[in-house]
Amino acid sequence: MLLKVSELKRTYIMGEVEVHAVNGIDLEIKKGELTAIVGQSGSGKSTLMHILGCLDTPTSGTVHFNGEDISSVSDERLSVVRNSEIGFVFQSFNLLSHRNILENVMLPMVYKQEEPEIRKRKASNILSALGLGDRLLHKPTELSGGQNQRVAIARALANNPSLVLADEPTGNLDSNTSKEIMSLFQELNRLGKTMIMVTHDQNIAKNCERIVEIMDGKIIKDFINKDFKRRKFEMDYDLESILEEV
């Protein structure tokens, strides 16, 4: 079991009002799953993602990651788990605009204190595997939205994480590029990556094998998607061999 949360709650104080963003969630994520967490704005899905991604801590309940209870560990320990075990992909890409894409992908390895030569080789290989080998010195402002999301995915893979968390990863993309990105997520999952995607879009969620629906901070549905079909992944590079080197 990669992730297990029990009786999870996260409460915020807004003036004199308590907001129960996550209100008693039990959830298990096995290694190798491709899961969508679905819910409308205010449902609690983003708060849950922040807790699963070690960006926030619960008010109560427990979170076990790879067998370790991280519910109340230090911020320093959370930072280590977050950087070494979790890769993030965001709707707005969150790339540094003043750095080229090679430097953007190298950044997580800098925090991990990888040797400069190693992180440059790894970043170059991952970007090449995602079809961006001829763009290494380009800045994010010089790339399309789809290319920037592939850079963000490359950065998420930089430290070979146990889990990839994607928050509305197709929200800023056109329909054709969205299909390409979802095909890439499915391929990464086929190659063994555990993927959790947070979205409000049911059509995007259908690209995942398992769908967990949240409303008012609670899970209201959790089911295997019978309509799930893997998209055909066609690219001119060997993603599998590159990932084995990371």
CATH of the domain at 101: 3.40.50.300
Residue 176 has pLDDT above 90, yes or no: no
Q: Is residue 66 part of a domain?
A: no
**pLDDT category of residue 124 using cuts at 50, 70 and 90:** very high
Q: Is residue 194 part of a domain?
A: yes
Q: Is residue 10 part of a domain?
A: no
**26-41 per-position pLDDT tens digit:** 999 999 999 999 999 8
- Based on the structure, what is the number of domains in the chain? 1
**59-106 per-position pLDDT tens digit:** 999 999 999 999 989 999 999 999 999 999 998 899 999 999 999 999
Of the candidates 179, 198, 158, which has an alpha carbon nearest to the alpha carbon of residue 55?
198
Q: Is residue 154 part of a domain?
A: yes
Of the candidates 94, 2, 3, 15, which has an alpha carbon nearest to the alpha carbon of residue 48?
3
Instruction: Give me the pLDDT at residue 77, please.
Output: 93
Q: Is residue 209 part of a domain?
A: yes
Of the candidates 240, 156, 152, which has an alpha carbon nearest to the alpha carbon of residue 191?
240
> Rounded to an integer, what distance in angstroms lies between the CA atom of residue 157 and that of residue 128?
13
Residue 115 has pLDDT above 60, yes or no: yes
Q: Is residue 178 part of a domain?
A: yes
**200-245 per-position pLDDT tens digit:** 999 899 999 999 999 999 999 999 999 898 876 666 556 676 666 6
Q: What pTM does this model have?
A: 0.91
**pLDDT category of residue 171 using cuts at 50, 70 and 90:** confident
- Residue 70: φ, ψ to 5°: -105, 15
**What are the residues whose beta carbons fall under 8 Å from the beta carbon of 159, sequence distance 6 or more?**
83, 84, 87, 108, 109, 112, 246
Q: Is residue 69 part of a domain?
A: no
Q: Is residue 83 part of a domain?
A: yes
> Rounded to an integer, what distance in angstroms lies between the CA atom of residue 35 and that of residue 38?
10
CB 221 within 8 A of CB 211: yes
* Domain interval for residue 234: 33-58+74-245
> Rounded to an integer, what distance in angstroms lies between the CA atom of residue 76 and that of residue 220?
34
The H-or-E segment that residue 180 falls in is: helix 175-190
